[in-house]
Amino acid sequence: MRRSGYDVIVVGGGHAGAEAAWSAARLGARTVLITFSLEAIGRPSCNPAVGGIGKGQIVREVDALGGLMGRVADETGIQFRMLNRRKGPAVWAPRAQIDSGTYPAVLRRYLENCPNLKIIEASVEAVESEPLGPSCANALPLATSRVSGVRLSDGRVLAAHAVVIASGTFLRGLMHTGEAKAPGGRVGEPAATGLSASLAALGMELGRLKTGTPPRIARDSVDWSQLAVQHGDERPVPFSFLTDSLPQEQVCCWLTATNERVHELIRANLHRAPMYTGQIQSRGPRYCPSIEDKVVRFADKSAHQVFLEPEGRDSERIYANGISTSLPQDVQAQIVTSIRGLEHARVLQWGYAVEYDFVPPEQIDASLMTKRVRGLFLAGQINGSSGYEEAAGQGIIAGINAARFCAGASPVIIGRDQAYIGVMIDDLVTRGVTEPYRMFTSRAEHRLHLRYDNADVRLTPLGREIGLVDDERWQKFQAKSDKLAALLQSWERLRFEGRTLADWIRRPEEDGLRFAAVFPELEPYTRELDTWGRALVEIKYAGYLQRQQRSIDEFRRREEQVIPPDLNYSQVPHLRREAVERWSAVRPQNIGQAARVSGIHPTDLSVLLVYIASGQRRASCG
């Protein structure tokens, strides 16, 4: 790497920016993280939780690669639960309530102690670029320039070979509470006003999305006696593969619900709701709707659950999960006090919606670099995703690839068969978004293979290969792998009543723990439920896993069919106009990606395959 200026600049100190800065710096790139405020680094904008269905798997994957989110969540978690235990292991997912006050502080501590990383407080006004040379322009048909740094609002210019934009909801952020509107990406924090125009000037198309948050309630104003208690797991499972145990005392969450009185209030005030007056015109997350949207869309439901979640172990603030809203303050006050247990509640922070700019993600490739500007990477909500976990997953990949771009190394591309991170990125770059993208296990066709418990097997060797996994993590991974292999061998070797333990354990109702009393050599393994649980899955689901592996092998063969990067789709005979337009916009790198682009028919794929196989690319490079 050249040593003038910085190698990598990361813009934004949220969950995407933190992982990008951490990974780039750990790979040896001289990195600077630019944030509005040091105190706001990693601040949970919305719910005080990490993980969940599909999301918990991403956190484990970020950790397996050598990232931060899992370690910080383990240190600052106040309640841990494994979701979906009653279903199959493909959809088990860890989730934790976090202390929203200490989480940013711990994350900042990691970043401030990271070699090669500098953090500065500033506002970025523009991305600086320079034209590509003729040889590069010919090789990269969509690229017109390369990044050269950023310009700050005070006029300073910082030079860099790569820039990662992780702006969250701050790009021209506009907050709504009833008729009131105020610029900002998060309550009490300003919007980024100049960066959108800079991206547009670079040739990037911009869109507009929306998200929202519920009111926060004063803890001492809640009548807890009326509410159902929700405890954490007795033996909690950590997020990080480096965490051996979670000894901290867990706190409770509580459950209540809306009612017909609440729904009547909402229906009577829809004329004051920004979503229904036309004040907000952008799309919000369909799978995390506001309470007014729930009441309208599910008119037959008489109640919706509300989870009351502490924002910290000693925090006075309670997060009312389930009643996200942008209704006026006076209506919010009536809604809150009409809910069981909240009759005398005081609202400490009103709910609001926030609109923000994003870059439709067909404009980036699977490395998260923009197709038009070389060296410019995007991560997190700027790509149309939602959620801390989705942001962190993109952030670590953007940081890795920004560092590798500076070093002249090929990018790291995570496949759909390797990780939920790969599923997410592939969905974004090939299918685009019409609403904020949220990860679900149902999005992954290989989800039995992409379990939360084996994220290290899938990704830690890759993290080691690229230099992000240190010796401590690698040694723990190897030791854990050895223990798993030894346990599986013991089950195949030991016999009970004429059958191997493996045969017994294959029975649906058998967890094998009773055999530890018969065979003392198994007893130490029972204290490591993660190893024991993974071995159970390997034994019980062996047939399913073998079939899925065959499917993965076939999938990989399709992914290996490369499409020439300079192919001119308008020159492919008999290809439908929609296919020409969609493939020209997305520029899929292989046949697998091409098949997943929205609007593509099987006949389009057949035409493309025939064309590539025939070698008839006479006009493709022109």
Alpha carbon 368 to chain centroid distance?
A: 14
- Any idea which of 103-112, 140-149, 607-616 has the lowest mean pLDDT? 607-616
pLDDT in tens, 26-58: 999 999 999 999 999 999 989 999 999 999 999
pLDDT at position 4, please?
46
DSSP strand pairing (228-230 vs 6-11): unpaired
pLDDT at position 137, please?
52
Q: What percent of the chain has pLDDT over 90?
A: 77
The token pair at 494 is 């030991």
Asked if the model's pLDDT at residue 296 lies above 90, the reply is: yes
pLDDT in tens, 325-380: 999 999 999 999 999 999 999 999 999 999 999 999 999 999 999 999 999 999 99
- Over range 240-262, report the average pLDDT: 95
Residue type, 154: D
Burial of 453-473, coded b for 16+ CB within 10 Å and e otherwise, reads bbbbbbbbebbbebebbeeeb
Of the candidates 376, 434, 401, 428, the one whose C-alpha atom is nearest the C-alpha of residue 166 is 376
Q: What percent of the chain has pLDDT over 70?
A: 97
SS (HEC) of 478-489: HHHHHHHHHHHH
Element housing 27 (H / E)? none
Asked if the model's pLDDT at residue 88 lies above 90, the reply is: no
- Any idea which of 61-65, 67-71, 277-281, 599-603 has the lowest mean pLDDT? 599-603
State phi, psi for 148 to the nearest 5 degrees: -130, -5
**CA separation for the pair 391, 397 (Å, rounded):** 10
Of the candidates 441, 449, 436, 425, the one whose C-alpha atom is nearest the C-alpha of residue 596 is 425
Of the candidates 304, 266, 274, 301, the one whose C-alpha atom is nearest the C-alpha of residue 288 is 304
> How many residues would you count in the chain?
622
Banded model confidence at residue 611, pLDDT cuts 50, 70, 90? confident
Q: Work out the end-to-end distance of the chain between its first and last CA atoms, rounded to an integer number of angstroms.
A: 34
- Over range 548-557, report the average pLDDT: 84
State phi, psi for 560 to the nearest 5 degrees: -80, -10
Output the pTM of the full model: 0.92
- Who's near 214: CB < 8 A, 6+ residues apart? 291, 319, 320, 321, 322, 323, 324, 325, 351
Find out whether 418 and 266 touch, Cβ atoms under 8 Å. no
Q: What average pLDDT does the chain have? A: 92
The token pair at 576 is 């439908």
Banded model confidence at residue 283, pLDDT cuts 50, 70, 90? confident
Asked if the model's pLDDT at residue 266 lies above 90, the reply is: yes
pLDDT in tens, 454-468: 999 999 999 999 999
Q: In the beta sheet, which residues pair with residue 32?
A: 9, 118
Element housing 1 (H / E)? none
Q: Cα dihedral sign for 381, 387, 390, 396? A: positive
Q: Cα dihedral sign for 277, 283, 289, 293? A: positive
pLDDT at position 139, please?
54
DSSP strand pairing (124-131 vs 376-378): unpaired
